[in-house]
Chains A and B, each alone.
Chain A
Amino acid sequence: MCQVDEEYNGLLESPVASSATKKCNKCKETTAALVLKPGESLCRGCFKEHFVHKFRAMLGKNRIIFPGEKVLLAVSGGSSSCAMLNQVQEGLGQNAHKKLRFKPGIVYIDEGCLLGQSTEKRQKTMAQINSLFKMTGFPHHIIPLEMVLNLPPSVLEPVHLATDDPAGSYKEAVDHFMQSSPVHSVDPRVDRSELSALTDATNPQLIAEAQTQTLQELFSRVKTLTAKEDLLHTLRRHLLVSTARTEGYSKLMLGENCTRLAVKLLANIALGRGAQLAVDTAFCDPRYGDIVAVKPMRDYTAKEISLYNYMWNVPYVFIPSLETKTADKSSIQRLTESFVVKLQVDFPSTVSTIYRTGEKLQTASVTEDIERAPLKCLFCMCTLDTALGETSAFQATLISEQLSNVGTTPMQASLRPDTQTKCGAPCDQQDGEEHCQAQAVCCSHKGGDSMNLESLLCYSCQQTVKDMTSVEFLPQYIMSEAQRRNRRSQIRHEISEFLLTEDGDSPSIKADS
């Protein structure tokens, strides 16, 4: 992200030369301090007004955050999420024009364990973040990524808000679960001595070393940076959503900006997440049910944010990530970022065009009926996109894999549809459809146990698992939920012949013959 962020250097008006006399396009009085885009020069004050207005307008337009609602801001320490934090502070301030009325809290997840950082280094980072958060006076939660290992399996099921307090029982369960873990919220009203005690409690030494090791073992089983980034993104989301639930928040605010989302959209296409583009890039992401993720920064470019942070001294921290100091071609995500950044130089409309493409997409319609609701991916919790017809990239890949394996013979088929075989493997079953489904899902077993993990995953998350040498170190909550879903689908299969379809037919019961 660094390249995008440093763009502002040449954009600030030089104090010398002719530009010194240029007036602000908006107020036409004050001297312009920056050029937002060619022909749009603004003074400091007007730029701030423009920036602040955009934030309020985004929230106002979407009308999704209610007064008094508890909103959890996910802050990574980077410029975009710190600008978001700054906007919330501004909006809640005494002299704010249209005051924001929700109750914010902040969460930071420390991923230092994946970068092989020492305990001291991680402590230092967390202390830095802690002092940044303390200045806001908002409750805050500084959580090491290791906490993901303690999540309950229920985090993988969206919580539907049909009943009065659906999250209640869940919340109790998780509260109980998390009691011993070093997750702390800091109430701004507690006195200083108490505060410092709490700060000490975020000491990563309290994280069992075994947990750090388990997480490192897990990631050492992932062969590619592409899959590592994807898995980390998944785990981080689970931890954020779970933290929001246990701490009583109902919205999660993410700091992704327009530039970031354009890169993400294109990278997601290359990762096979075409069906999920809308939820991943839209303002509102409802996939978790009770906790709705929103992206209020999505209309700002990285450049605007950098300019704002620079001019108004918004503090942010540089925190290295998995991608830091990697080559362009080290992962799909990294490659896409450098591609978009470079193309943006030649074609300045690149980011906005990709972003607008995303605006025109939707999530395929979802049925309300829970029994008939489409299955969700175990990892990313999006609707499974693998129940596809015979002519699809997904099926074509499966066929390729099967045909290249031992012992498969060429299929015999003619052009007449009635004599088609359903898949590449020899198929002697009547119900070719089901046989193929089974073929599709059972072809890869990993990690010693015969866990049927891939059938529970979307196309893209399957690709991530394919890049793993073993799944044995996946967190327990994921494995337990996978086992539960597998049992359930097995039962469903066993009883299928006794279930009646809507019009009263019994589909699979065959006549006495």
Chain B
Amino acid sequence: MPIQCSKCTEQRAVLKRPKTGQSLCKECFFIVFEEEIHHTIVSAQLFKPGETVAIGASGGKDSTVLAHVMKVLNERYKYGLNLMLLSVDEGITGYRDDSLETVKRNQEQYDLPLKIVSYEELYGWTMDAIVKQALDRGAKLLNVDKICTGHNADDLAETVLMNVLRGDIARLRRCTSISTSSGGEDVLPRCKPLKYAYEKEIVLYAYFKKLDYFSTECIYSPNAYRGHARAFLKDLESVRPSAIMAVLHSGENLSIKESVKMPVQGTCGRCGYISSQALCKACVLLEGLNRGLPKLGIGKHHRLHEKLLSQQPLSNAEERKLKAVDF
């Protein structure tokens, strides 16, 4: 027996919402999915009329859906935003080539201006860990006011769990915020309009809207705990679908003792970008290349930052460690 849509009570339901368990027809699902994001945008006052907003576009499902929904809502509710797609060419062959093709097609489909910034263009080298910084610098070149990214509820819940497992209290406090204000000259405000959207619903939305996206997940994960946190979250969701929102609710309501010392969010001593260390990752990498010490950009060498910053030479022992392995 076909199940009726619980919203319009006329059409046949085609899906059961992962988030609420309600059965909906296709049209009603589109409406509620878009309206929820609209509610997030309005209630959190993510944008102001007239702003130029760059959508961080990777070609993946999250940013593809984000770009689509942002365009729909901007027109439907007359946000008055000047939207554009911004993509970073990481120079990693394979993964990025296909995803960039997708972004280029998206550009035509949504009729949004696209700018691709490559690492070569920005720094002269490639590395995955500095995508974030590249987005900022690219956006800066284009006079963008804000960047919005495709982080969804699952991503954020996963980050909450990961930070508990790692005991990273500073990130635990920050990680659920929906927007970050400008962090200095080189850092643009960022926001996450899909914060409360379930990953499964994003996939459903992209599927029913027949959106064109590149479906390979980015395989670069900086730490082992993220994988465990992700697997745990998926299991939690299978036991109780509302657990994703519950983790977010927990994250939003944590209260950290005032006596707990927080690392001061500083800026890079060379380029001014936000960095918890004396030098940001990008500058360390560049310095490593300049000094012929490629390993400087890999691993942690915080002790050396002061030396690098003041242009002091490194000791022989330090240099030996950072030189490439001889074969």
A404, CB-defined interface residue at 8 Å = yes
Q: Does B307 contact A (CB under 8 A)?
A: no
Instruction: Decide: A266 and B164 in contact? CB cutoff 8 A.
Output: yes
Q: Which of A391, A411, A414, A459 contacts B246 (CB 8 A)?
A: A459
| Residue of A269, A270, A339, A388 with most chain B CB atoms under a 10 A cut-off | A270
* A contact face: mostly helix, strand, loop, or mixed: helix
Q: Which of A329, A350, A395, A397 has the most CB of B within 10 A?
A: A397
Which residues of chain A come closer than 8 Å to B256, judged between CB atoms?
360-362
Does B236 touch A at the CB level, under 8 Å? yes
How distant is the Cα of A411 from the Cα of B24 in the complex, in angstroms? Answer: 19
Tell me, yes or no, whether B216 is within 8 Å of chain A by CB.
Answer: no
**Which residue from chain B places its CB closest to the CB of A417 in the assembled complex?**
B45
Asked whether A24 is an interface residue with its Cβ less than 8 Å from the other chain, the reply is: no
| Chain B positions within 8 Å of A370 at CB level | none
Cβ B32 vs Cβ A404 within 8 A: yes
Choose the segment among A242-250, A274-282, A300-308 that binds chain B (4+ C-beta atoms closer than 8 Å).
Answer: A274-282
**B240: contacting residue among A226, A278, A339, A403, CB under 8 A:** A226
A396 touching B239 by the CB < 8 A rule? no
| Interface range on chain B (Cβ under 8 Å from partner) | 35 or more
B247 with A270: CB separation less than 8 A: yes
Contact of A395 among B43, B232, B246 (CB under 8 A): B43
Q: Which of the residues A330, A360, A397, A416 comes within 8 Å of B49, measured between beta carbons?
A: A416
Asked if A411 meets B35 with Cβ closer than 8 Å, knowing A269-B247, A339-B232, A417-B45, the reply is: yes
Provide the residues of chain A in CB contact with B253, threshold 8 Å: 274-275, 364, 385
Across-interface contacts of A420 in B (CB, < 8 A): 42-43
**Are A410 and B31 closer than 8 Å at their CB atoms?**
yes
Bound-state Cα–Cα, A339 to B253, Å? 24
B77 proximity list for chain A (CB < 8 A): 412-415
- Interface stretch, picked from A33-41, A47-55, A351-359, is A351-359
Select which of B40, B80, B165, B166 is within 8 A of A396 by beta carbon.
B40
Residue contact B36 to A272, C-beta cutoff 8 Å: no
Q: Which of A107-147 contact B (CB under 8 A)?
A: none
> Known: A350-B165, A353-B165, A406-B9. Is A362-B40 also a contact (CB below 8 A)?
no
Cβ-based interface call for B204 (8 A): no
- Residue B98, interface by CB 8 Å: no
Query: Per-residue CB proximity of A373-409 to B under 8 Å, as 1/0?
Result: 0000000000001001111111111011101111010
Q: Is residue A263 within 8 Å, beta carbon to beta carbon, of the partner chain? A: no
Q: Is the CB of B196 within 8 A of A393?
A: yes
CA distance A269 to B240 in the complex (A): 13
List the B side residues contacting A360 at CB < 8 Å: 169, 256-257, 260
Cα–Cα distance between A59 and B237 once the two chains are bound (Å): 40
A residues 254-283 touching B (CB-CB < 8 Å) = 265-266, 268-275, 277-278
Contacts of B178 in A (CB 8 A): 391
State whether A332 touches B255 (Cβ < 8 A). no
Choose from A266, A336, A415 the contact partner of B79 (Cβ within 8 Å). Answer: A415
Decide: B35 and A356 in contact? CB cutoff 8 A: no
What separation, in Å, do the CA atoms of A87 and B78 have in the docked complex?
A: 69
- Tell me the chain B residues, 8-55 only, with Cβ under 8 Å from chain A: 8-9, 17, 19-20, 22, 24, 28, 31-32, 35-36, 38-45, 47-49
A-B contact pairs, 14 of them (CB 8 A): A272-B247, A274-B252, A277-B250, A354-B164, A357-B164, A363-B255, A364-B253, A388-B252, A396-B36, A396-B245, A404-B7, A411-B39, A463-B242, A463-B246
- Which residues does A use to contact B, with CB under 8 Å? 224, 226, 265-266, 268-275, 277-278, 329-332, 335-336, 339, 343, 350, 353-354, 356-357, 360-364, 385, 388-397, 399-401, 403-406, 408, 410-417, 420-421, 424, 459-460, 463, 466
